[in-house]
């Protein structure tokens, strides 16, 4: 019990249902290659792992510090481009991966520090605008510097041999699962994501994390107690950016590709916002539920609707409404309903009535 | 009240204007360790604004603030707090959605300078937690430590405000009407605490208070603000008897 408490930094789910849901998701992701064989479902599982980290790092900003930033996808992209550029320019080995990751982290650190120091002193809306401008500029830069970034096409690159789909650990499949580069990459992604999430959970439940909450609650008072809030916000901004960068590295590694559409697209920024809000801001666990629900819906809603549309054949109007082409409409409806009925997100709802403990 | 010792805190010609209105007008005053100075004056006299200038929540239009002889006029509030100033606010100013214990704990942690620690577990720093409990106990809030600050009744919120000031363990304690709105039964606890601090001898206390009996019994010195200006300064008996106080503060006509 104490080990779990330590692992979760004392921030237990505090709701049986929430604990159950989290356990189920952890179980499903941990055994995804065995439970859901098939390329597409493994892609979905890997994306869920990576986006949990991306969304959790955004929650650190939005939910815990009360900062609205639109530059999160930029840092995500810096991670992806960092290793893509290193892997295409250098030998596609582990050292190139390390150099690309380190370079991306350095760029993100400097950028987040600059953006933070220049604009976190002033009004929140100004910070949001600055991040929007910087992120747009970065996206333009990425598409213009096509010699370096591959422009709109992005960069496809080779990964270390060990991680390539062609690599085989065992000659024969076991339980129908191929033990090869794809599986290894998945578990690299899974364990990294788990470690990063637990690290974030620790950060928000550390003395530092509680100061962030205090700043969100009453900045004036936090200052009067002697906390230099600019320093705290800037650090939170940097930490969030660095974790987003690592998520970008993992995503590029999984896709063996980085391009504007997989990282820098503004639509991804909106998705991140939605996932945080649906899961529950300022809870960390919300990022797990929000992301899983969102990405699974995004990927399987069409299939589900195809089935529903078929099943309701003969009933007027319904099959049309449920036609797979309407999936975006239903996704939208789902979100509106979610936000309307769970203003504190799913986690807030599950914990309903439970006061936070000291 | 003059002592040979160097003043802990000094303001020189401290002035602030809001538009055309001069809320604090060239207040020059020094404060010495081991003394409790009461600051009195009618509502709107500029007492809270003077505190805001001293502890750094507001920047003066003119004048300087010196702390231990050092000019801190350009230091923001957190820096002044770190240099030894502590402030309890007139209008209760808490972290409403954190627990009572967490509120005090944040003050303890600020004092311990461990706010930048990102790797320890907040819930396992037993030394800081015990300290927070200690201060809650002193103000009589130990039983409420797990409640959210926003759920406390007004009197308890005032006590929490005082507990947070104690937890900062400052050299200079600034109380802004600490007993305002408290029930008669609650007031003695706070007064006793202030008395205890005074007995430590090395602390400097500034107290804004309306209740004249409290002022008379606790203070070593009274200064009077009126329309932003310092109009009287001296030992309690003298100041209270002075015509300017009788008129300006107590509302008694001098000729009566
Ligand atoms: N931020 C502000 N802007 C404009 N006027 C202010 C501000 N703060 C205080 N005042 C004015 O300054 C005067 C002094 O207020 P205050 O210091 O709160 O008085 P006191 O604490 O003695 O009752 C009042 O007239 C008040 O309206
Ligand atoms: Mg006042």
Residue-wise pLDDT tens digits, A238-279: 999 999 999 999 999 999 999 999 999 999 999 999 999 999
Question: Left, alpha or beta for A24 (phi > 0: left; psi -120 to 50: alpha)?
Answer: alpha
pLDDT in tens, B208-219: 998 888 898 899
Q: Are residues B57 and B103 in the same domain?
A: no
Q: Are residues B126 and B80 in the same domain?
A: no
| Shortest alpha-carbon distance between residue B95 and chain A (Å) | 6
Cα–Cα distance, B207 to A351 (Å, whole number):
43
Is the per-residue pLDDT at A124 higher than 90? no
Q: Are residues B131 and B57 in the same domain?
A: no
Is the per-residue pLDDT at B1 higher than 70? no
Contact flag B78-A224 (C-beta cutoff 8 Å): yes
What pLDDT is recorded for position A206? 97
Cα–Cα distance, A123 to B185 (Å, whole number):
43
Contact residues on chain A for B87, CB-CB shorter than 8 A: 224
Residue in A with minimal Cα distance to B122: A206
Q: Residue B175: nearest ligand to its CA? A: 2
What pLDDT is recorded for position A116? 87
From B169, B192, B220, the end of a domain falls on B169
Cα–Cα distance, A293 to B66 (Å, whole number):
58
Q: Residue B16: nearest ligand to its CA? A: 1
The 3-class secondary structure across chain A, one letter per residue, is CHHHHHHCCCCCCCCHHHHHHHHHHHHHHHCHHHHCCCHHHHHHHHHHHHHHHHHHHHHHHHHHHCCCCCCHHHHHHHHHHHHHHHHHHCCCCHHHHHHHHHHHHHHHHHHHHHHHHHHCCCCHHHHHHHHHHHHHHHHHHHHHCHHHHCHHHCEECCCCHHHCCCCECCCCCECCECCEHHHHHHHHHHHHHHHHHHHHHHHHCCHHHHHHHHHHHCHHHHHHCCCCHHHHHHHHHHHHHHHHHHHHHHHHHHHCEECHHHHCCHHHHHHHHHHHHHHCCCCCHHHHHHHHHHHHHHHHHHHHHHHHHHHCCCCCCHHHHCCHHHHHHHHHHHHHHHHHHCCCHHHHHHCCCCCCCC
Residue A317 covered by a domain:
yes
> DSSP letters along B168-209, please?
H--SEEEEESTTTT--TTTHHHHHHHHHHHHHTSS-EEEEE-
Residue A68 structural domain = 16-357
Stretch A7-14: mean pLDDT, rounded?
93
Helix (H, G, I), strand (E, B) or coil at B84: coil
B110 and chain A in contact, CB less than 8 A: yes
Is the per-residue pLDDT at B40 higher than 90? yes
Cα–Cα distance, B18 to B217 (Å, whole number):
35
What's the distance, CA A129 to chain centroid? Answer: 22
Token pair 């799913």 is found at A346
pLDDT in tens, A323-332: 877 877 888 8
Residue A2 covered by a domain:
no
Is the per-residue pLDDT at B245 higher than 80? no
Q: Are residues B132 and B249 in the same domain?
A: no
Helix (H, G, I), strand (E, B) or coil at B29: strand
From B169, B185, B214, the end of a domain falls on B169
Q: Are residues B2 and B27 in the same domain?
A: yes
Q: Are residues B52 and B104 in the same domain?
A: no
Stretch A131-139: mean pLDDT, rounded?
94
What pLDDT is recorded for position A357? 39
Question: Left, alpha or beta for B183 (phi > 0: left; psi -120 to 50: alpha)?
Answer: beta
What pLDDT is recorded for position A353? 46
How many whole angstroms from B51 Cα to the centroid of ligand 2?
9
Domains in chain B, number: 2
- ipTM score: 0.93
Which residues make Cβ contacts (< 8 Å) with residue A185, sequence separation at least 6? A46, A159, A163, A253, A254
Lowest mean pLDDT among A71-85, A165-179, B1-15, B199-213: B1-15
Q: Smallest Cα–Cα separation from B95: which of A219, A282, A10?
A: A219
pTM: 0.91
Is the per-residue pLDDT at B163 higher than 70? yes
B94 and chain A in contact, CB less than 8 A: yes
Q: Are residues B30 and B56 in the same domain?
A: yes
Residue A9 covered by a domain:
no
pLDDT in tens, B111-145: 999 999 999 999 999 999 999 999 999 999 999 99
What is the pairing mode between strands B172-176 and B204-208?
parallel
Residue A68 covered by a domain:
yes
Residue A3 covered by a domain:
no
| Shortest alpha-carbon distance between residue B217 and chain A (Å) | 29
Which residue has its alpha carbon closest to ligand 1 atom 1? B18
Residue A7 covered by a domain:
no
Q: Which residues pair with B10 in a beta bridge?
A: B30, B66
Which residue has its alpha carbon closest to ligand 1 atom 24? B44
Which residues make Cβ contacts (< 8 Å) with residue A199, sequence separation at least 6? A243
For B253, the token pair is 């006509």
**Is residue A163 a contact partner of residue A181, using CB atoms and an 8 Å limit?**
yes
From B125, B146, B169, the end of a domain falls on B169
B1 and chain A in contact, CB less than 8 A: no
Report the CATH number at residue A177: 1.10.3470
Q: Smallest Cα–Cα separation from A54: which of A197, A195, A189?
A: A197
Cα–Cα distance, A138 to A77 (Å, whole number):
9
Helix (H, G, I), strand (E, B) or coil at B71: strand
Of the CA atoms within 13 Å of residue A55, those in its CB half-sphere come to 32
Residue with more model confidence, B248 or B37: B37
The Cα angle at residue A317 between residues A311 and A322, in degrees rounded to 5: 50
What pLDDT is recorded for position B165? 97
Contact flag B115-A208 (C-beta cutoff 8 Å): yes
**Is residue B62 a contact partner of residue B15, using CB atoms and an 8 Å limit?**
yes
Helix (H, G, I), strand (E, B) or coil at B220: coil
Contact residues on chain B for A207, CB-CB shorter than 8 A: 109, 114-118, 120, 122, 125
Longest dimension (CA), chain B: 68
What pLDDT is recorded for position A259? 94
Domains in chain A, number: 1
Contact residues on chain B for A203, CB-CB shorter than 8 A: 118
What pLDDT is recorded for position A306? 82
Helix (H, G, I), strand (E, B) or coil at B213: helix
**Is residue B50 a contact partner of residue B16, using CB atoms and an 8 Å limit?**
no
* DSSP letter, residue B75: S
For A126, the token pair is 């100004």
For chain A, give the mean pLDDT: 91
Q: Smallest Cα–Cα separation from A229: which of B19, B37, B81, B67?
A: B81
Report the CATH number at residue B65: 3.40.50.300
For chain B, give the mean pLDDT: 92
pLDDT in tens, A302-358: 888 888 888 888 888 888 888 877 877 888 888 788 778 888 899 988 887 444 433
Stretch B153-181: mean pLDDT, rounded?
95
* DSSP letter, residue B99: B
How many whole angstroms from B48 Cα to the centroid of ligand 2?
4
Candidates B83, B85, B122: best to mutate against A (most CBs of A within 10 A) is: B122
Task: Choose the closest CB to A355 out of B93, B107, B148.
Answer: B148
Contact residues on chain B for A235, CB-CB shorter than 8 A: 116
Q: Are residues B192 and B240 in the same domain?
A: yes
Q: Are residues B129 and B199 in the same domain?
A: no
Q: Ligand 1 atom closest to Cα of B41?
A: 22
* DSSP letter, residue B34: T
Q: Is the CB of B47 under 6 A from ligand 1?
A: yes
Q: Smallest Cα–Cα separation from B67: which of B79, B59, B49, B57?
A: B79
Q: Are residues B186 and B213 in the same domain?
A: yes
What pLDDT is recorded for position B142? 95
What pLDDT is recorded for position B61? 97
Q: Are residues B197 and B236 in the same domain?
A: yes
What pLDDT is recorded for position B248? 62
Cα–Cα distance, A224 to A228 (Å, whole number):
9
Residue A4 covered by a domain:
no
Q: Are residues B160 and B176 in the same domain?
A: no
| Shortest alpha-carbon distance between residue A145 and chain B (Å) | 38
Residue B112 structural domain = 93-169
Residue A282 banded pLDDT, cuts 50, 70, 90: very high
**Is residue A277 a contact partner of residue A345, using CB atoms and an 8 Å limit?**
yes
| H or E segment to which residue B109 belongs | helix B100-112
Cα–Cα distance, B163 to B157 (Å, whole number):
10
């Amino acid at each position: 019990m104490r080990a779990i408490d330590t692992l979760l930094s004392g921030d237990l789910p505090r709701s049986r249902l929430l604990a159950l849901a989290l356990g189920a998701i952890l179980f499903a992701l941990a055994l995804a290659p065995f439970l859901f064989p098939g390329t597409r479902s493994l892609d979905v599982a890997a994306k869920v792992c990576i986006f949990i980290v991306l969304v959790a790092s955004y929650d650190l900003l939005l939910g815990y510090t009360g900062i609205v930033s639109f530059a999160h996808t930029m840092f995500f992209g810096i991670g992806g481009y960092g290793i893509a550029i290193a892997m295409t320019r250098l030998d596609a080995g582990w050292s190139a991966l390390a150099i690309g990751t380190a370079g991306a982290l350095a760029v993100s650190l400097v950028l987040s520090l600059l953006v933070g120091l220049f604009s976190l002193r002033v009004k929140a809306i100004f910070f949001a605008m600055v991040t929007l401008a910087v992120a747009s500029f970065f996206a333009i830069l990425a598409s213009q510097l096509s010699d370096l970034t591959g422009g709109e096409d992005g960069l496809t690159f080779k990964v270390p041999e060990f991680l390539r789909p062609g690599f085989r650990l065992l000659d024969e499949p076991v339980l129908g699962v191929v033990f090869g580069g794809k599986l290894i990459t998945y578990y690299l992604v899974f364990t990294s994501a788990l470690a990063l999430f637990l690290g974030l959970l620790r950060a928000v439940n550390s003395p530092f994390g509680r100061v962030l909450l205090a700043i969100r609650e009453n900045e004036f008072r936090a200052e009067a107690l002697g906390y230099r809030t600019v320093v705290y916000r800037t650090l939170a901004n940097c930490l969030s950016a660095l974790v987003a960068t690592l998520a970008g590295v993992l995503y590029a590694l999984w896709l063996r590709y980085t391009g504007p559409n997989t990282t820098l697209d503004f639509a991804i920024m909106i998705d991140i916002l939605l996932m945080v809000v649906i899961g529950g801001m300022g809870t960390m666990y919300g990022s797990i539920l929000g992301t899983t629900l969102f990405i699974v819906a995004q990927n399987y809603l069409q299939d589900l609707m195809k089935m529903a549309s078929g099943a309701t054949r003969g009933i007027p109007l319904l099959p049309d409404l449920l036609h797979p082409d309407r999936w975006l409409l239903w996704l939208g409806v789902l979100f509106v309903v979610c936000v309307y009925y769970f203003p504190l997100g799913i986690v807030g709802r599950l914990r309903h009535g439970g006061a936070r403990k000291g | 009240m003059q002592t040979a010792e160097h003043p802990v805190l000094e303001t020189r010609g401290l002035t602030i204007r809001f538009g055309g209105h001069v809320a604090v007008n060239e207040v020059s005053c020094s404060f010495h360790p081991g003394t409790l100075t009461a600051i009195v004056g009618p509502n709107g006299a500029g007492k809270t604004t003077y505190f805001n200038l001293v502890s750094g929540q507001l920047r003066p239009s003119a004048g300087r603030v010196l702390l231990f002889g050092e000019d801190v006029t350009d230091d923001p509030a957190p820096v002044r707090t770190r240099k030894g100033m502590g402030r309890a606010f007139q209008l209760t100013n808490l972290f409403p959605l954190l627990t009572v214990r967490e509120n005090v704990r944040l003050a303890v942690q600020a004092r311990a300078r461990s706010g930048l620690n990102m790797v320890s577990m907040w819930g396992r720093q037993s030394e800081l937690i015990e300290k927070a409990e200690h201060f809650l106990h002193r103000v009589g809030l130990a039983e409420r430590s797990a409640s959210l600050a926003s759920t406390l009744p007004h009197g308890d919120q005032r006590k929490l405000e005082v507990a947070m000031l104690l937890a900062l363990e400052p050299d200079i304690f600034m109380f802004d009407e600490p007993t305002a709105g408290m029930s008669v039964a609650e007031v003695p606890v706070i007064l006793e605490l202030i008395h205890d601090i005074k007995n430590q001898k090395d602390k400097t206390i500034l107290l804004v208070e309306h209740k004249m009996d409290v002022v008379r019994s606790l203070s070593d010195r009274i200064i009077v603000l009126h329309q932003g200006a310092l109009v009287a300064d001296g030992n309690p008996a003298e100041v209270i008897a002075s015509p300017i106080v009788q008129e300006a503060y107590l509302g008694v006509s001098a000729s009566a």
